[in-house]
């Protein structure tokens, strides 16, 4: 059936990977709810989708607000209709050696990367169960699959998403709801700007990547769109790695 006229809610959609995903859904005729904290950037994404001739809206979403999940779902469903596809692209990272991590920083990262999406999913599930149809797609990271120096919290929080997809699939697949993750490699976005501004680091990543380039938000959006389509009906609890082969061992074998 594709995603035309289906309602999709995308968190972290005001820039970077999330905005790329929102644009791709808009191009395919979905009804797009752009969720995020930055109203100005969010409205720019909404307006660009509306210029494609499809409906879109912005909904303010603060991951630290414990009352946000029910409000966000309610606002989207009142404006566009039942949320059928939920894409979690919001996330945050900070470089810190483990010995410098404070309990407050630990809580902040897991609040933004895990807790917020957990309860937004919980708010969307009753409707999906009732309709016996839904797609939940979590944007994980290559960091969930390989250690990254100085990013222990980010690695752990993204690995949690992969396991949530598995656990939710075991719990709710019988209701016609699919749960999967997409794990990007290094993608040039505002969140990775500090890293991608280092030409030596970028050159090293490209050299270690079989297809020789960094990823783009569009690369990630294509994988998300596949998982949102009914052609992926039998894909459950899986992670699609979109990294140009960065995770492949040198020479292609261990």
- Per-position pLDDT tens, the chain of length 254: 689 999 999 999 999 999 999 999 999 999 999 999 999 999 999 999 999 999 999 999 887 777 789 999 999 999 999 999 999 998 887 888 889 989 999 998 899 899 999 999 999 999 999 999 999 999 999 888 887 777 889 899 999 999 999 999 999 999 999 999 999 988 877 666 566 666 777 787 788 788 888 889 999 999 999 999 999 999 999 999 998 888 876 655 54
Q: Give the span between the Cα atoms of 73 and 78, in whole angstroms.
A: 8
> What pLDDT does residue 39 have?
95
Three-class SS string for 233-251? CCCCCCEEEECCCCCCCHH
Specify if 127 maps to a domain.
Answer: yes
Specify if 250 maps to a domain.
Answer: no
Q: Which residues are part of the catalytic machinery?
A: 154
Instruction: Give the tokens for residue 117.
Output: 């999406």
> What pLDDT does residue 41 have?
95
To the nearest 10°, the Cα dihedral for 48, 49, 50, 56? -130
Q: Residue 168: which domain range? A: 7-243
> What pLDDT does residue 35 have?
95
Specify if 67 maps to a domain.
Answer: yes
Give the number of C-alpha atoms closer than 13 A to the C-alpha of residue 181, restricted to the C-beta side. Answer: 25
> What pLDDT does residue 209 have?
81
> What pLDDT does residue 254 have?
47
CATH number of domain containing 104: 3.40.50.720
> What pLDDT does residue 224 have?
98
With beta carbons less than 8 A apart as the criterion, state whether 22 and 100 touch: no
* Number of structural domains in the chain: 1
With beta carbons less than 8 A apart as the criterion, state whether 152 and 105 touch: no
Q: What is the pTM of this model?
A: 0.91
Radius of gyration of the chain (CA): 18
Specify if 153 maps to a domain.
Answer: yes
Specify if 249 maps to a domain.
Answer: no
Specify if 27 maps to a domain.
Answer: yes
Closest CA to 87 of 129, 36, 49: 36
Q: How long, in residues, is the chain? A: 254
Query: How many C-beta atoms surround the C-beta of residue 43 within 10 A?
Result: 15
Beta bridge partners of 180: 137
């Amino acid at each position: 059936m594709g995603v035309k006229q289906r309602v999709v809610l995308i968190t972290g959609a005001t820039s970077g990977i999330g905005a790329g995903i929102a644009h791709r859904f808009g191009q395919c005729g979905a009804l797009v709810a752009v969720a995020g904290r930055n109203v100005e950037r969010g409205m720019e994404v909404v307006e660009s989708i509306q210029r494609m001739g499809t409906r879109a809206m912005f909904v303010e979403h603060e991951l630290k607000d414990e009352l946000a999940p029910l409000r966000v779902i309610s606002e989207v469903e009142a404006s566009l209709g039942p949320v059928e596809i939920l894409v979690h692209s919001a996330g945050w990272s900070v470089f810190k050696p483990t010995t410098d991590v404070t309990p407050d920083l630990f809580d902040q990262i897991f609040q933004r990367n895990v807790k917020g999406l957990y309860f937004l999913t919980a708010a969307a599930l009753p409707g999906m169960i009732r309709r016996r149809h839904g797609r939940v797609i979590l944007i994980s990271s290559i960091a969930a699959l390989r250690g990254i120096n100085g990013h222990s919290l980010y690695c752990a929080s993204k690995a949690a998403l992969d396991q949530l997809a598995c656990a939710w699939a075991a719990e709710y697949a019988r209701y016609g709801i699919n749960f999967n993750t997409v794990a990007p490699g290094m993608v040039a976005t505002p969140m990775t700007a500090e890293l991608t501004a280092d030409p030596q680091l970028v050159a090293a990543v490209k050299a270690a990547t079989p297809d020789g380039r960094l990823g783009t938000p569009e690369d990630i959006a294509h994988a998300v769109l596949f998982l949102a389509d009914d052609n992926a009906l039998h894909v459950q609890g899986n992670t699609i790695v979109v990294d140009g082969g960065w995770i492949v061992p040198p020479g292609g074998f261990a």
